[in-house]
Every structure is written in C-alpha cells, then in structure tokens.
Amino acid sequence: MRLGREVNMANRDTFSSYHPVINFLYFGLVIAFSMTFTHPFCLLISLVCSISYSVYLNGKRAVRFNLLYMLPLFIVSALMNPAFSHQGATILEYLPSGNPLTLESIIYGIAVAAMLVTAISWFSCYSAVMTSDKFVYLFGRIIPAMSLILSMSLRLVPKFKAQIKVVSNAQRCVGRDVSNGGIIRRMKNGITILSIMVTWALENSIETADSMKSRGYGLPGRTAFSIYRFDSRDKAAIIYLFLTGTYIFIGACLGGIRWRYYPTMKGVVFGVYPFSIFLCYFALCIMPVILNVREDMKWNALKSAA
C-alpha cells in the first residue's frame, strides 16, 4: 500500500501527463478568468479550486506556504484598501484622519486580497505543471528566442538558489562562508559569494545560449526534447476546456455574473442562468483535481483487485 503510493509519486499528477497545449490552455483560461471576474462567488470558486489543486500538487509544503505567507498577505491586503480608499455609501465609522470607513471598501479589500492570493496560488500550480521543457515544446518553434528567454528567466531563481548552496558549501570548506568569523569577516565573505554568484549567472546564461545555438535551436525541422502525443484523452480535454471556457466567456460578456462594489454593492446573485455560469466555472477550475481523484480511485481499485 505505502510502496504503491510512493512509486506513484513520481508522476502523481495526472493533469501534468496531458498534452502541454491542454495544460497551457487550462492555466491561461483559469488565470485570465480569476483576474477579471470580480463577482464574490467567482472569487470564492477560484480561490477554493486553486488552493485545493496547489495542496494536491505540493502537499504539506503548499499548506505551510499558504498559512505562512498567503494568509498574512491576504489579511494585509484586505486591510490596506479601507485604509486608503474611502469610497462607498455605507459609512460604518470615521477613521482618525477624518475620512469615513465604509463597508464597501472593506469588502472590496477582501475581494482584491482573495484575487491576489488566488492568482499567486494558480501560478504556483502553473510552475509545478508547466515545466520549462513543456513551454519550450509549445513555443520553441513559433517564438524560439522569446521562449528560451522566458524559460531561462523562470528557471533563474531556483537555479540560483541551488547554486548558492553549492558555492556556500565550498566556501565553508575553506573557512570563508557567511557562518565563519566575526561580523565584518562574514560580511566580506558574503560579498565574495555574491560576486561569485553574479559572475556565474552571467557566464551560465551565455553558455546556455551558446549551447542552444550550437545544437541548432530554433532551426527548421528540429524536434523538441520531450515528445508529446495528442491522443483521444487530450481531444476530450480540449473540447471540455473549449466548451466551458466559451460558455463562461459569453456569460460574462452578457453580464450574467455582473457585480459592482462601489458606490453600493450590487450584482447578479440568484437565478438559473448565473448559477449555470458559476457551475461551469467551478467545473473548469476543478478539472485537474477531478482528473487526479478519478485516477487515484482507479489506481486503488486496480491495486485492491490484484
């Protein structure tokens, strides 16, 4: 039982095994919708789905990240709005500065904070699913230079972090790490390490570019490192994404999920049509989690049968 789970860990996320087009289209739709829809229900749906998917993908680390960084960020940005914006018809209290504290500004602050956390959460899922080889596979032929730059810059921070550990360990062996000596000595060592890192980063980027060029990157007829096949499962997924995405987009354009925060809060809440859009939106956002859960169930059923 335990062994099976761990073996499965390597390629645990079913959604990642879909064609890169599906992955990219899904994140494109979901992130665009999350950043444009201000209806509270939409924000809630997107928040719940993004957090559940990030927890599914990254496990305990995502939970810790959400509680340690996302929750304070949520609270701070929710409080920020009423401190600076005093719009809104419902005056609750007067701030010490003399300006009114309004219900609308508080709710709007919460909504914006939810949107911010949702977007960050979606991007954490994106970086786990859309690896750089997938990105280069998708865009390597259309915009070769751009996709190389993008994948290199997206990889920079994790690569930099890994390299700084290597350099720091090497320096520690010769007694020149930031943990050796007095405060001035430590600072000097730190600056040396930083200088090594900057040199390394510049050199490394040139090396990468040269190496890609010498391997014929961007030339016609060149194949990608990873080869993906667009199978019937991907066909079904793309139809699903297309249908839900179009329905939601048309619904939003027709004002089916209209909502305003200022000067008074007002918008579409009840009714069959808005409900169908919310349902569709939920179905779109939750898609990878559903795929994963279904796959897990299948796996467990097969295992217990065997």
Partner 1 sequence: MKFWSKYKTKIVLAILAAVILTGAYIWGGNYSKNPGTAVTVSTVGPEASEQSPATSPTPSAAVFPITSPAATASQNSPAVSPEAKPAAAPDGSSEGVYAGSKEYSESKGMVINSETGKDKYLTDPVPEGKPLPVEPQNAVITEKKLTCTLSVRCDTILNNMKLLKKDKWKLVPKDGVIFAAKTVTFYEGESVFNVLQREMKRAKIHMEFENTPIYNSAYIEGINNLYEFDAGELSGWMYKVNGWFPNYGCSRYQLKDGDAVEWVYTCDLGRDVGGYYAVGS
Q: Is 143 in the site for partner 1 (CB under 8 A)?
A: no
From 60, 32, 66, 24, select the one nearest 48 (Cα to Cα).
66
Q: Which of 9, 91, 149, 236 binds partner 1 (CB under 8 A)?
A: 91
Does 147 interact with partner 1 (rule: CB under 8 A)?
no
240 near partner 1 (CB under 8 A):
no
Should residue 216 be labelled a site residue for partner 1 when binding is judged by CB under 8 A?
no
Query: Which residues within the stretch 258-287 sit at the binding site for partner 1 (CB under 8 A)?
Result: 260, 262-263
40 binds partner 1 (CB under 8 A): no
Piece in contact with partner 1 (CB under 8 A), picked from 90-98, 110-118, 159-167, 280-288 = 90-98
59 sits near partner 1 (criterion: CB under 8 A): no
Structural contact between residues 31 and 118, judged by C-beta atoms closer than 8 angstroms: no
State the nearest-atom distance from the C-beta of 100 to partner 1, in Å: 6
Which residues inside 68-87 make contact with partner 1, applying CB under 8 A? 86-87
Cβ neighbors of 243 (< 8 A, separation 6 or more) are none
Half-sphere exposure of 40 (CA within 13 A, CB side): 13
Window 96-115: residues binding partner 1 (CB under 8 A): 98-100, 102
Whichever of 13 and 104 has its CB closer to partner 1, that residue is 104
Q: Which is nearest to 129 in space by CA: 57, 206, 185, 203? A: 57
Least distance in angstroms from the C-beta of 263 to partner 1: 4
Which one of the spans 30-38, 66-74, 94-102, 118-126 is the region binding partner 1 (CB under 8 A)?
94-102
Stretch of 26-34, 49-57, 88-96, 124-132 contacting partner 1, by CB under 8 A: 88-96
Minimum CB separation of residue 29 from partner 1 in Å reads 28
CA nearest to 129, candidates 26, 273, 216, 255: 26
User: Which residues in this chain contact partner 1 in the complex, by CB under 8 A?
Assistant: 86-89, 91, 94, 98-100, 102, 260, 262-263
